[in-house]
Structure 1
Amino acid sequence: MSKEKTVMKKMTTRDANFVRLLIVFAAVFVICSLLQGGKFLNLDNFGSMFKQFPEYGLLAIGIGMALLIGGIDLSAVYLANLSSIIAGLFVLKFMNDSGDPQTGLILVSFLIAILVGAVGGAVNGLLISGVGIPAMLATLGTQSLFWGIGVVLTKGSTLSKFPKGLTMMLNAKIGILPVTVVIFAIVAAVCIVIVAKTKLGYEMKMYGTNNKATIYAGLNNLKIVVLTHMISGILAALCGIIMWGRYSSAKADNGATYTMQAILIAVMGGISPNGGKGNVQGIVLAVLIIQMVSSTLNMFTWIPTPCRQIVWGVLLIVVMILNYYSDQKAKKAK
């Protein structure tokens, strides 16, 4: 076999999931176009999709990071809401009634939200690796904790009446792209580099493959898990900031349905639920696929919202079954 063919074979094998996702993307685009025609192939629809996917796209990348180390993060949505609530309370405390955008105050509140996300992620990491609680139970517990704190801080109501600078910044455009899409693209690019090119990314995959072997290799398991969940927490906070700007309000149960979608996207994107395998670029493509499906479902107004949750559940099961058989086939090929 020639050198060129060998290189091509390695690239095809390595990127097999990404190639499959490209095929699925094209197929879904064609199917959605056929089902809804002009409604789907419409600038307003594409504009709406661009506004929606950065939220759960950021969550999916964060949850994908947790899956990569063989865990999960079920608290991400509620940490996103708690981050925006604390930032929102800060703004309401110090804003004035001048009617000015108060951009400086809003920017400081964004930093506070990101700090809250990082601290919440660190708590998850310490519970999992420091205390030894399984990731599912630890993040299920903090899910209730973050939600409860959010409800107490807001007294069960919705925070609103924020300065106009909030919506001005987060609904602005850079060229033809919404600023939230640009934020998503930058964050996704950074996470692609972290997972594929950095020492931390290598350690995350090693830990996800065998967290006992990493100890014998001299790696600090606590550091790996805490840093991974801090990244997930920061991405959750960014999601919370975007939801805060889109709704111009903050409450404890925004985006309550996003957890299932984010897990589906991460798994569809090629992150193994068993850990140690996957990349962020697959998640990015899966985000676009799920957004097309979601937008098309929204056009069928006769489909109740609970039935859409059934669709996400069925899709997740199907994707996991397909991934299982794909992995088995790859093992036999070796």
Structure 2
Amino acid sequence: MKMFTRDANFFRLLIVFAIVFVICSVLQGGKFLNPGNFSSMMNQFPEYGLLAVGVGLALMIGGIDLSVVYLANLSSIIGGKFLLSVIKPEASEGTVMLLIFAGFLVAVLVGAAGGALNGLLISGLGIPAILATLGTQSLFWGFGVVLTGGSSLSGFPVQLTSMLNSSIGIIPVTVIIFIAAALIAGLIVSRTMLGRQLKMYGNNNTATEFTGLNNLKLVVTTHVISGILAGLSGIIMWGRYSSVKADNGAAYTMQAILIAVMGGVSPKGGIGNVQGIVLAVLIIQMVSSVLNMFNNIPTACRQIVWGGLLLIVLIFNYMVNENAKKKH
């Protein structure tokens, strides 16, 4: 109860979650509560959930990251090319697994490097976050196209796909990756000095300079974490599609921003938490599940839904904030 009084947005999200759950149950009948449907939903959200957490961190410092999807793809492409270059047909099972994990590490490191580039452009050179990440979005996409020749890159060991599409008990490995990453990010935001500093910076980045805070280090570190999350998302997409491509998950940018804002992260910076983002991920996945009922719905219509929801959330948050100001 104490948590609810501290975070009214999280309480509202719980209510929305319950309402959406009931609506989905009614619309889909017994199919929604079917274990197979839950398993299908669990396999879908980790990749864009990780991106949403990364975008949320960027928003908390008063910026934004439009490059996460293409950084995720570039990470998996470079990791994939590395794996194909070092693996041999006669390699033993143990060697194959070791090289697969090496490929994953390369992908994560590429994600971290891309995040560092974003941070340096934003804080080091003073380029507005929206312009810097719009530029790196094109940069990452372009490198991805060049490295793959504009097509998908495949031919990876079956062990890679099997591992990333397996489950531990009833929980998919990809969900475990998402939970672990979200838990670590949540602890960083809520329990560490870095988390307090990034919210201070998001509230007033000029004032933080007079406190002795190293703004450059803070922004770069935040974007490195976002880049690592993008790298993990790229790995999950790599396993799900059994291939890597420069434009996988192209629609995820809008979803990631929507989820972060719905989860209570202020686009102005300084406000937000990871648990709200996680709950928003589950809500959006249920909405997506309903949309999947209509097999012939065009991608453009889905984008209309996500864009419309984002505007509704922004307008609602504005009204709530204005009402709070009047009360004070």
Instruction: Quickly name the TM-score band, shorter chain normalised.
Output: over 0.9
Equivalence for 2:312: 318
Q: Decide whether the 8 Å contact of 1:70 with 1:276 is kept in 2.
A: yes
- Kindly indicate whether residue 158 of structure 2 is the aligned counterpart of residue 164 of structure 1: yes
Map 1:264-303 onto structure 2 (within 5 A).
264-303=258-297
Q: Decide whether the 8 Å contact of 1:100 with 1:165 is kept in 2.
A: no
The residue type paired with residue 181 of structure 2 is V
Equivalence for 2:74: 82
Equivalence for 2:243: 249
The residue type paired with residue 69 of structure 1 is I
C-alpha distance in structure 2 between counterparts of 1:132 and 1:31, whole Å? 46
C-alpha distance in structure 2 between counterparts of 1:95 and 1:187, whole Å? 28
C-alpha distance in structure 2 between counterparts of 1:100 and 1:293, whole Å? 44
C-alpha distance in structure 2 between counterparts of 1:325 and 1:250, whole Å? 42
Equivalence for 1:220: 214
- Kindly indicate whether residue 103 of structure 2 is the aligned counterpart of residue 120 of structure 1: no
1:43-79 deviation digits (Å, cap 9, x = unpaired): 2211110001000000000000000000000000000
- Decide which of 79, 83, 99 is 1:105's aligned counterpart: 99
How big is the shift at 1:98?
3.7
Q: Give the secondary-structure state (helix, strand or coil) at the position aligned to 1:185.
A: helix
The residue type paired with residue 213 of structure 1 is A
Q: Decide whether the 8 Å contact of 2:144 with 2:246 is kept in 1.
A: yes
- Decide which of 182, 190, 193 is 1:188's aligned counterpart: 182
- Kindly indicate whether residue 302 of structure 2 is the aligned counterpart of residue 308 of structure 1: yes
Equivalence for 2:197: 203
C-alpha distance in structure 2 between counterparts of 1:242 and 1:12, whole Å? 33
C-alpha distance in structure 1 between counterparts of 2:298 and 2:138, whole Å? 27
Q: Give the secondary-structure state (helix, strand or coil) at the position aligned to 2:313.
A: helix
Equivalence for 2:40: 48
C-alpha distance in structure 2 between counterparts of 1:43 and 1:309, whole Å? 28
How big is the shift at 1:276?
0.2
The residue type paired with residue 260 of structure 2 is A
1:213-271 deviation digits (Å, cap 9, x = unpaired): 00011101101100000000000000000000111100100000000000000000000
Q: Which runs of 4+ in 1 moved over 6 A?
A: none
How big is the shift at 1:117?
0.4
The residue type paired with residue 131 of structure 2 is L
Q: Decide whether the 8 Å contact of 1:188 with 1:284 is kept in 2.
A: yes
Aligned positions, number: 326
Q: Give the secondary-structure state (helix, strand or coil) at the position aligned to 1:275.
A: coil
C-alpha distance in structure 2 between counterparts of 1:127 and 1:100, whole Å? 43
C-alpha distance in structure 2 between counterparts of 1:44 and 1:289, whole Å? 18
How big is the shift at 1:302?
3.5
The residue type paired with residue 243 of structure 1 is M
How big is the shift at 1:11?
4.2
- Decide which of 305, 319, 332 is 2:326's aligned counterpart: 332
Q: Give the secondary-structure state (helix, strand or coil) at the position aligned to 1:212.
A: helix
Gaps of 5+ in 1: 1-7
Q: Give the TM-score taking structure 2 as reference length.
A: 0.97
Q: Decide whether the 8 Å contact of 1:99 with 1:164 is kept in 2.
A: no
The residue type paired with residue 277 of structure 1 is I
1:12-62 deviation digits (Å, cap 9, x = unpaired): 432211110000000001111111212222222111100010000000000
Equivalence for 1:28: 20
Range moving further from structure 2, 16-25 or 300-309: 300-309
The residue type paired with residue 116 of structure 2 is A
Gaps of 5+ in 2: none
